[in-house]
Amino acid sequence: MKKSITESIYASGILESENQYTAFVTANGIVNEIYFTEGDSIFNGSPILSISSVAQQLNKDNAQLVAAFQDINSNQGKLSESKQRIELARTKMVNDSIQNSRQKQLFAKGIGAKVELEAAQLAYQNSRVNYLSAKENYNDLSRQLKLNSQQAKNNLRLVTSSQNDFTLKSMVDGEVYSLNVAIGEIVSPQTPIAVLGSKDKFILKMQVDEYDINEVRLGQKVIVTLNSDRYKSYEAKITQLYPLMNPQSKSFLVEAEFVTRPKRLYPNVTFEANILIRSKENVILIPREYLIDGMYVMKKNSEEKVPVKIGLKDYKMVEIVEGVGMNDVLIKPTI
Protein backbone atom coordinates (compact mmCIF):
# COMPACT_ATOMS: atom_id res chain seq x y z
CA MET A 1 0.00 0.00 0.00
CA LYS A 2 1.09 3.58 -0.55
CA LYS A 3 1.00 5.99 2.34
CA SER A 4 3.11 8.67 4.03
CA ILE A 5 5.74 7.73 6.61
CA THR A 6 7.69 9.67 9.16
CA GLU A 7 10.92 8.40 10.66
CA SER A 8 11.53 9.39 14.28
CA ILE A 9 13.86 8.82 17.20
CA TYR A 10 12.44 7.69 20.51
CA ALA A 11 13.50 9.50 23.65
CA SER A 12 12.34 9.68 27.24
CA GLY A 13 12.88 12.45 29.71
CA ILE A 14 11.69 14.68 32.52
CA LEU A 15 9.89 18.01 32.51
CA GLU A 16 11.56 20.87 34.37
CA SER A 17 10.53 24.42 35.07
CA GLU A 18 12.86 26.96 33.48
CA ASN A 19 15.56 28.04 35.95
CA GLN A 20 14.44 25.29 38.32
CA TYR A 21 16.82 24.88 41.23
CA THR A 22 17.07 23.60 44.78
CA ALA A 23 17.69 26.33 47.36
CA PHE A 24 20.17 25.90 50.23
CA VAL A 25 21.11 28.15 53.14
CA THR A 26 24.75 29.14 53.57
CA ALA A 27 24.95 28.91 57.35
CA ASN A 28 23.87 26.68 60.21
CA GLY A 29 20.85 27.73 62.23
CA ILE A 30 17.28 27.15 63.31
CA VAL A 31 14.37 28.03 61.02
CA ASN A 32 12.88 31.11 62.61
CA GLU A 33 10.27 32.23 60.10
CA ILE A 34 8.89 31.02 56.74
CA TYR A 35 7.42 33.61 54.37
CA PHE A 36 6.02 31.40 51.57
CA THR A 37 4.35 28.04 51.19
CA GLU A 38 4.22 25.50 48.38
CA GLY A 39 2.38 26.78 45.31
CA ASP A 40 2.95 30.47 46.11
CA SER A 41 4.24 32.86 43.48
CA ILE A 42 7.56 34.45 44.34
CA PHE A 43 9.79 37.20 42.98
CA ASN A 44 13.54 37.37 42.54
CA GLY A 45 15.06 38.61 45.80
CA SER A 46 12.02 37.79 47.95
CA PRO A 47 12.94 36.18 51.32
CA ILE A 48 11.88 32.55 51.52
CA LEU A 49 12.73 31.99 55.17
CA SER A 50 15.02 33.21 57.92
CA ILE A 51 17.13 31.28 60.38
CA SER A 52 18.55 32.34 63.73
CA SER A 53 21.88 31.63 65.44
CA VAL A 54 22.89 32.61 68.98
CA ALA A 55 26.57 32.54 68.04
CA GLN A 56 26.00 34.86 65.09
CA GLN A 57 24.07 37.36 67.23
CA LEU A 58 26.81 37.32 69.86
CA ASN A 59 29.42 37.90 67.15
CA LYS A 60 27.47 40.92 65.95
CA ASP A 61 27.04 42.28 69.48
CA ASN A 62 30.77 41.88 70.16
CA ALA A 63 31.65 43.54 66.86
CA GLN A 64 29.41 46.49 67.74
CA LEU A 65 31.07 46.83 71.14
CA VAL A 66 34.56 46.74 69.65
CA ALA A 67 33.59 49.22 66.92
CA ALA A 68 32.23 51.62 69.53
CA PHE A 69 35.34 51.21 71.72
CA GLN A 70 37.73 51.73 68.82
CA ASP A 71 35.80 54.59 67.22
CA ILE A 72 38.11 57.52 66.59
CA ASN A 73 35.69 59.95 68.25
CA SER A 74 35.78 57.86 71.42
CA ASN A 75 39.56 58.23 71.62
CA GLN A 76 39.90 62.00 71.32
CA GLY A 77 41.07 62.09 74.94
CA LYS A 78 44.18 60.11 74.06
CA LEU A 79 44.92 62.45 71.17
CA SER A 80 44.39 65.51 73.37
CA GLU A 81 46.75 64.12 76.00
CA SER A 82 49.35 63.45 73.33
CA LYS A 83 48.95 67.01 72.01
CA GLN A 84 49.52 68.36 75.54
CA ARG A 85 52.76 66.41 75.76
CA ILE A 86 53.85 68.03 72.49
CA GLU A 87 53.06 71.49 73.83
CA LEU A 88 54.93 70.84 77.10
CA ALA A 89 57.90 69.49 75.18
CA ARG A 90 57.84 72.50 72.86
CA THR A 91 57.69 74.95 75.78
CA LYS A 92 60.61 73.25 77.48
CA MET A 93 62.57 73.22 74.21
CA VAL A 94 61.98 76.97 73.75
CA ASN A 95 63.09 77.71 77.32
CA ASP A 96 66.17 75.53 76.96
CA SER A 97 66.95 77.24 73.64
CA ILE A 98 66.78 80.64 75.34
CA GLN A 99 69.00 79.45 78.22
CA ASN A 100 71.47 78.00 75.73
CA SER A 101 71.66 81.30 73.83
CA ARG A 102 72.22 83.30 77.06
CA GLN A 103 74.91 80.91 78.20
CA LYS A 104 76.69 81.29 74.86
CA GLN A 105 76.59 85.09 75.16
CA LEU A 106 77.89 85.02 78.73
CA PHE A 107 80.65 82.56 77.85
CA ALA A 108 81.65 84.77 74.91
CA LYS A 109 82.10 87.67 77.42
CA GLY A 110 84.16 85.47 79.68
CA ILE A 111 81.38 84.99 82.17
CA GLY A 112 80.56 81.51 83.41
CA ALA A 113 82.34 78.19 83.15
CA LYS A 114 82.51 76.01 80.07
CA VAL A 115 80.77 73.21 81.88
CA GLU A 116 77.74 75.46 82.34
CA LEU A 117 77.67 76.14 78.59
CA GLU A 118 77.89 72.45 77.80
CA ALA A 119 75.10 71.69 80.26
CA ALA A 120 72.86 74.30 78.61
CA GLN A 121 73.62 72.90 75.15
CA LEU A 122 72.87 69.34 76.31
CA ALA A 123 69.61 70.42 77.93
CA TYR A 124 68.51 72.11 74.71
CA GLN A 125 69.41 69.07 72.61
CA ASN A 126 67.50 66.76 74.95
CA SER A 127 64.41 68.95 74.98
CA ARG A 128 64.50 69.20 71.15
CA VAL A 129 64.70 65.41 70.85
CA ASN A 130 61.82 65.06 73.32
CA TYR A 131 59.75 67.55 71.35
CA LEU A 132 60.30 65.74 68.05
CA SER A 133 59.61 62.42 69.76
CA ALA A 134 56.34 63.77 71.20
CA LYS A 135 55.25 64.86 67.73
CA GLU A 136 56.13 61.46 66.26
CA ASN A 137 54.29 59.69 69.09
CA TYR A 138 51.23 61.79 68.35
CA ASN A 139 51.35 60.88 64.65
CA ASP A 140 51.83 57.20 65.48
CA LEU A 141 48.93 57.29 67.94
CA SER A 142 46.70 59.04 65.43
CA ARG A 143 47.48 56.47 62.71
CA GLN A 144 46.98 53.56 65.13
CA LEU A 145 43.64 54.87 66.35
CA LYS A 146 42.42 55.40 62.79
CA LEU A 147 43.56 51.88 61.84
CA ASN A 148 41.88 50.32 64.88
CA SER A 149 38.69 52.24 64.20
CA GLN A 150 38.59 51.25 60.51
CA GLN A 151 39.35 47.60 61.27
CA ALA A 152 36.58 47.48 63.86
CA LYS A 153 34.11 49.09 61.42
CA ASN A 154 35.12 46.66 58.67
CA ASN A 155 34.66 43.72 61.01
CA LEU A 156 31.22 45.00 62.01
CA ARG A 157 30.24 45.37 58.35
CA LEU A 158 31.53 41.85 57.68
CA VAL A 159 29.55 40.36 60.57
CA THR A 160 26.47 42.36 59.60
CA SER A 161 26.69 41.33 55.95
CA SER A 162 27.10 37.70 56.96
CA GLN A 163 23.69 38.01 58.62
CA ASN A 164 22.32 37.98 55.07
CA ASP A 165 23.35 34.31 55.13
CA PHE A 166 20.57 33.86 57.66
CA THR A 167 17.89 34.99 55.20
CA LEU A 168 17.34 32.71 52.22
CA LYS A 169 16.13 34.65 49.17
CA SER A 170 14.68 33.55 45.85
CA MET A 171 16.91 33.73 42.78
CA VAL A 172 14.03 33.65 40.27
CA ASP A 173 10.62 35.04 39.48
CA GLY A 174 8.35 32.03 39.63
CA GLU A 175 6.77 29.56 42.01
CA VAL A 176 7.69 27.67 45.16
CA TYR A 177 7.25 24.05 44.05
CA SER A 178 8.31 22.39 47.28
CA LEU A 179 9.29 23.46 50.78
CA ASN A 180 11.11 20.82 52.78
CA VAL A 181 11.51 22.38 56.24
CA ALA A 182 9.34 23.71 59.07
CA ILE A 183 9.76 26.37 61.75
CA GLY A 184 12.04 25.15 64.54
CA GLU A 185 14.06 22.74 62.40
CA ILE A 186 17.85 22.84 62.45
CA VAL A 187 19.26 23.40 58.97
CA SER A 188 22.75 23.49 57.46
CA PRO A 189 24.27 24.27 54.04
CA GLN A 190 23.72 20.59 53.17
CA THR A 191 19.96 20.75 53.83
CA PRO A 192 17.80 21.10 50.67
CA ILE A 193 15.35 23.83 51.64
CA ALA A 194 13.05 24.37 48.66
CA VAL A 195 12.62 23.83 44.92
CA LEU A 196 11.83 26.93 42.88
CA GLY A 197 11.46 27.71 39.21
CA SER A 198 9.57 29.56 36.53
CA LYS A 199 5.80 29.45 36.82
CA ASP A 200 4.91 29.49 33.14
CA LYS A 201 7.89 28.29 31.10
CA PHE A 202 8.97 24.65 31.08
CA ILE A 203 11.78 22.70 29.43
CA LEU A 204 11.60 19.15 28.14
CA LYS A 205 14.87 17.45 29.02
CA MET A 206 15.33 14.12 27.24
CA GLN A 207 18.04 11.51 26.79
CA VAL A 208 18.94 10.52 23.22
CA ASP A 209 20.94 7.36 22.57
CA GLU A 210 24.46 7.83 21.19
CA TYR A 211 23.49 5.83 18.07
CA ASP A 212 20.82 8.41 17.22
CA ILE A 213 22.39 11.72 18.23
CA ASN A 214 23.79 12.51 14.77
CA GLU A 215 20.23 12.60 13.42
CA VAL A 216 19.09 15.30 15.87
CA ARG A 217 19.09 18.96 14.84
CA LEU A 218 17.95 22.25 16.36
CA GLY A 219 14.40 23.13 15.45
CA GLN A 220 13.26 19.56 14.76
CA LYS A 221 9.67 18.74 15.58
CA VAL A 222 9.01 16.57 18.62
CA ILE A 223 5.78 14.77 19.53
CA VAL A 224 5.49 14.51 23.30
CA THR A 225 3.28 12.34 25.50
CA LEU A 226 3.32 13.21 29.19
CA ASN A 227 2.92 10.31 31.60
CA SER A 228 0.52 12.50 33.57
CA ASP A 229 -1.64 12.93 30.44
CA ARG A 230 -1.09 9.81 28.35
CA TYR A 231 -4.14 10.20 26.13
CA LYS A 232 -2.94 13.40 24.46
CA SER A 233 0.14 14.34 22.43
CA TYR A 234 1.73 17.77 22.23
CA GLU A 235 4.11 19.36 19.77
CA ALA A 236 7.53 20.69 20.78
CA LYS A 237 10.77 21.64 19.05
CA ILE A 238 14.44 21.00 19.78
CA THR A 239 16.12 24.05 21.34
CA GLN A 240 19.39 22.76 22.80
CA LEU A 241 21.87 19.93 22.15
CA TYR A 242 24.51 19.21 24.77
CA PRO A 243 27.67 17.79 23.17
CA LEU A 244 28.96 15.75 26.12
CA MET A 245 27.80 12.14 26.34
CA ASN A 246 26.83 10.63 29.68
CA PRO A 247 29.19 7.62 29.95
CA GLN A 248 26.84 5.74 32.30
CA SER A 249 23.70 5.93 30.17
CA LYS A 250 25.50 6.24 26.79
CA SER A 251 23.16 9.09 25.92
CA PHE A 252 23.13 12.82 25.24
CA LEU A 253 21.00 15.47 26.91
CA VAL A 254 18.66 17.23 24.48
CA GLU A 255 16.24 20.03 25.40
CA ALA A 256 12.97 21.03 23.75
CA GLU A 257 10.25 23.59 24.31
CA PHE A 258 6.50 23.22 23.82
CA VAL A 259 4.85 24.59 20.70
CA THR A 260 1.46 23.41 21.95
CA ARG A 261 1.17 22.55 25.62
CA PRO A 262 -1.28 21.55 28.35
CA LYS A 263 -2.92 24.24 30.45
CA ARG A 264 -1.18 22.99 33.58
CA LEU A 265 2.32 21.56 33.84
CA TYR A 266 4.21 20.12 36.79
CA PRO A 267 7.97 19.89 37.29
CA ASN A 268 9.59 16.44 37.31
CA VAL A 269 6.77 14.80 35.32
CA THR A 270 8.23 12.15 33.01
CA PHE A 271 7.38 11.88 29.34
CA GLU A 272 8.01 9.96 26.13
CA ALA A 273 8.92 11.70 22.90
CA ASN A 274 9.43 11.03 19.21
CA ILE A 275 11.87 13.35 17.47
CA LEU A 276 10.76 13.57 13.82
CA ILE A 277 13.77 13.11 11.56
CA ARG A 278 12.36 12.93 8.02
CA SER A 279 9.14 12.06 6.19
CA LYS A 280 7.94 10.99 2.70
CA GLU A 281 4.58 11.06 0.98
CA ASN A 282 2.96 8.39 -1.21
CA VAL A 283 5.51 5.59 -0.78
CA ILE A 284 5.15 1.81 -0.67
CA LEU A 285 4.92 0.61 2.90
CA ILE A 286 4.85 -2.85 4.43
CA PRO A 287 4.56 -3.89 8.07
CA ARG A 288 7.96 -4.36 9.66
CA GLU A 289 7.16 -7.95 10.64
CA TYR A 290 7.08 -8.87 6.93
CA LEU A 291 10.81 -8.15 6.65
CA ILE A 292 13.18 -11.10 6.91
CA ASP A 293 16.63 -10.32 8.31
CA GLY A 294 15.97 -6.67 7.54
CA MET A 295 16.52 -7.12 3.80
CA TYR A 296 14.22 -9.82 2.37
CA VAL A 297 10.50 -10.54 1.89
CA MET A 298 8.50 -13.59 0.85
CA LYS A 299 6.16 -13.16 -2.10
CA LYS A 300 3.13 -15.34 -2.68
CA ASN A 301 3.81 -18.23 -5.06
CA SER A 302 7.57 -17.81 -4.55
CA GLU A 303 9.73 -20.32 -2.72
CA GLU A 304 12.75 -18.06 -2.27
CA LYS A 305 13.27 -14.84 -0.38
CA VAL A 306 13.27 -11.69 -2.46
CA PRO A 307 15.85 -9.01 -1.64
CA VAL A 308 14.48 -5.51 -1.13
CA LYS A 309 15.90 -2.04 -0.62
CA ILE A 310 14.32 -0.23 2.30
CA GLY A 311 13.96 3.46 3.07
CA LEU A 312 12.33 5.14 6.05
CA LYS A 313 11.08 3.21 9.04
CA ASP A 314 8.82 3.88 11.98
CA TYR A 315 7.90 1.57 14.82
CA LYS A 316 5.28 -0.25 12.67
CA MET A 317 5.96 0.27 8.98
CA VAL A 318 8.93 0.33 6.61
CA GLU A 319 9.33 1.93 3.19
CA ILE A 320 10.23 -0.37 0.27
CA VAL A 321 12.30 1.45 -2.33
CA GLU A 322 13.05 -1.51 -4.60
CA GLY A 323 12.00 -5.17 -4.83
CA VAL A 324 8.25 -4.96 -4.20
CA GLY A 325 5.51 -3.50 -6.40
CA MET A 326 1.99 -2.40 -5.58
CA ASN A 327 0.51 -5.60 -7.02
CA ASP A 328 2.78 -8.01 -5.16
CA VAL A 329 1.23 -10.10 -2.41
CA LEU A 330 3.53 -10.77 0.52
CA ILE A 331 3.54 -13.61 2.99
CA LYS A 332 4.19 -12.93 6.64
CA PRO A 333 7.15 -15.10 7.71
CA THR A 334 6.63 -17.63 10.43
CA ILE A 335 8.93 -17.59 13.39
HEC profile of 176-190: EEEECCCCCCEECCC
Residue with the larger pLDDT of the pair 110 and 198: 198
- CATH numeric code, 2-13+201-331: 2.40.30.170
Q: Which amino acid is at 207?
A: Q
Q: CA–CA separation, 314 vs 288, rounded Å?
A: 9
| CA nearest to 235, candidates 226, 246, 227 | 226
Q: What are 57-103's pLDDT values in tens digits?
A: 666 767 778 778 888 777 888 888 889 999 999 999 899 888 888 88
Q: What are 8-41's pLDDT values in tens digits?
A: 888 999 999 999 999 999 888 889 899 999 999 9
Does the pLDDT at position 5 exceed 90? no
What band does 272 get if pLDDT is binned at 50, 70 and 90? very high
Cα-to-chain-centroid distance, residue 29: 21
Residue with the larger pLDDT of the pair 291 and 315: 291
Proportion of the chain above pLDDT 90, given as a percent: 41
Residue with the larger pLDDT of the pair 228 and 252: 252
Task: Quote the pLDDT of residue 179.
Answer: 94
What mean pLDDT is reported for the chain? 86
Q: Out of 89-98, 129-138, 162-171, 204-213, which region has the weakest mean confidence (pLDDT)?
A: 162-171
Helices (H), the chain: 54-70, 76-108, 114-162
Tell me whether strands 234-246 and 251-258 are parallel, antiparallel or unpaired. Answer: antiparallel
Taking residues 176-180, report their average pLDDT. 94
Does the pLDDT at position 160 exceed 70? no
DSSP string, 226-241: ETTSTT--EEEEEEEE
What band does 251 get if pLDDT is binned at 50, 70 and 90? very high
Q: CA–CA separation, 130 vs 191, rounded Å?
A: 64
Q: Can you name the residues that pair with 176 across neighbouring β-strands?
A: 196
Task: Quote the pLDDT of residue 239.
Answer: 96
